[in-house]
Structure 1
Amino acid sequence: MSDDPLALENQVCFALAVAARNVIALYRPLLEPLGLTHPQYLVMLALWQQSPRSVTSLGHALSLEPATLSPLLKRLEAAGYLARSRSARDERMLDLTLTARGAALRTEALTIPPRVAEALSMPVPELEHLRSALHGVIGATAASS
């Protein structure tokens, strides 16, 4: 690294942007056979963790606004992976529930994390450390905004 604080290679934002773009590109061919885009995969991960859940809860879990989620949810519903319905507790809220097809997709998706780890050629402890550091960045940026 150079001593120049404005050198491109010294910028955290640059390293994060390129790394994110490259890692997401690794997922593309792995998700294609499942009929999912990367953002849709993130939605499915959250629903495999908890279903049913509200759109609000999902938005918090993914750090996404409802307007961003809406088209993703419509496509996943059209694919038969989830169902959207008005909440029995509060009709203003939408609940999301995995369908049998969406729940079954989890079994196929179990192959994705080890394939990504293999493609990155990083030992699992190193990936866990990276994930932990990134969660620290997320926490710090969330707290300052």
Structure 2
Amino acid sequence: MPTLTVSCAPLQPLDRKRLALAFTRQLKALGADTAHCMVFFTPLAQGCVFSAGMPLPVTDREGLPAQFHVRINVSASRDRLAHESLASGLTQCLRTQFPQAFIYLQFDPILPEHVYFSAGADLINAANPQGMTGS
């Protein structure tokens, strides 16, 4: 269940949808099940990101996001080439709409057995998609 958490200046709903779809396509290209790809957006408030003790602007002169911080949770079984491919694809998605933004990508490999989800009564462990939670 790959997840992306995108932190940037607040985006309009249509912009979030465009990015989420583009990101999901990138994950699909790596073989991820798109039904399990999650994209979360968290707004960056002005003055909440600092570099060398100095605040960085979250928007540019036109009011567009000046920076994107993306945390990527993917299976620990993904290798470096998969990370590089996904990082490149995600960067291209962002550059299409925000060509001047600073982009920071961080991979957080996760073991499927550390992920649980529920779409109904059953709690499902991602390592066992059939819903078997016992041993």
* TM-score, normalising length: structure 1: 0.31
Choose between structure 1 and 2: higher helix proportion: 1
Higher Cα Rg: structure 1 or 2? 1
* TM-score, normalising length: structure 2: 0.33
Choose between structure 1 and 2: higher strand proportion: 2
With a CA cutoff of 8 Å and minimum separation of 6, indicate the structure with the bigger relative contact order.
2
